[in-house]
């Protein structure tokens, strides 16, 4: 017999992205309303942040810190917002960096010293203080 678990997530939301942090202790959800962060054990929402007007299409967090990278959902043809990575300090409630590209951002990886951004045919590697270290054309 299977036991059901309710996370108290409204089903009327569109969920665009779901991601674990590096050590799988938390997960982030990007929705059409913004983003939410949950702990895994016990499963508990620890943060809910509205992002206007269309929510968040991608989100990741650095380990168990207050540093988050996210991409706003863009419903326009140009998708300008989905070409920008916002680095946000949740405890200070401040944007600490903004990385803009000429193509859609596909993936973001964080570790304690680097931020890696993947586009369709290019990978950018930044130091944690947002200085470009390497560019790899694929």
DSSP, residue by residue, 112-130: SSEEEEE-SSEEEEEETTS
- Give me the residue label for tokens 């993936």: 107
> Confidence class of residue 1 from pLDDT cuts 50, 70 and 90?
low
Average pLDDT over residues 86-107: 95
Residue 64: pLDDT band (50, 70, 90) is: confident
Q: How confident is the model at residue 102 (pLDDT cuts 50, 70, 90)?
A: very high
Q: What value does the mean pLDDT of the chain take?
A: 91
| CA atoms of 7 and 114, how far apart (whole Å) | 32
How many residues appear in the chain? Answer: 138
Closest residue by Cα to residue 54 from 71, 66, 38: 71
Taking only the tens place, the pLDDT of each residue in 21-39 is 999 999 999 999 999 999 9
What does the pLDDT read at residue 28? 95
Measured over the CA atoms of residue 26, residue 128, residue 121 and residue 15, the dihedral's sign is: positive
User: In 3-state terms, what secondary structure has residue 30?
Assistant: strand
3-state secondary structure of 80: helix
> Other C-beta atoms within 10 Å of 42: how many?
6
DSSP-derived letter for residue 62 is -
């Amino acid at each position: 017999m299977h036991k059901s678990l309710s996370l108290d997530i409204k089903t009327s939301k569109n969920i665009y992205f779901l991601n674990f942090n590096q050590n799988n202790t938390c997960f982030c959800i990007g929705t059409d309303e913004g983003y939410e962060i949950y702990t895994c054990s016990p499963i508990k929402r620890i943060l809910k942040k509205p992002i206007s007007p269309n929510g968040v299409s991608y989100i990741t967090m650095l380990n168990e810190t207050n540093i988050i990278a996210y991409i706003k959902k863009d419903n326009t043809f140009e998708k300008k917002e989905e070409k920008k990575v916002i680095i946000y300090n949740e405890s200070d409630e401040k944007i600490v960096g903004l990385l803009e590209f000429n193509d859609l951002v596909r993936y973001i990886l964080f570790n304690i010293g680097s931020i890696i951004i993947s586009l369709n045919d290019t990978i950018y590697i930044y130091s944690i203080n947002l200085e470009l270290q390497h560019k790899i054309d694929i």
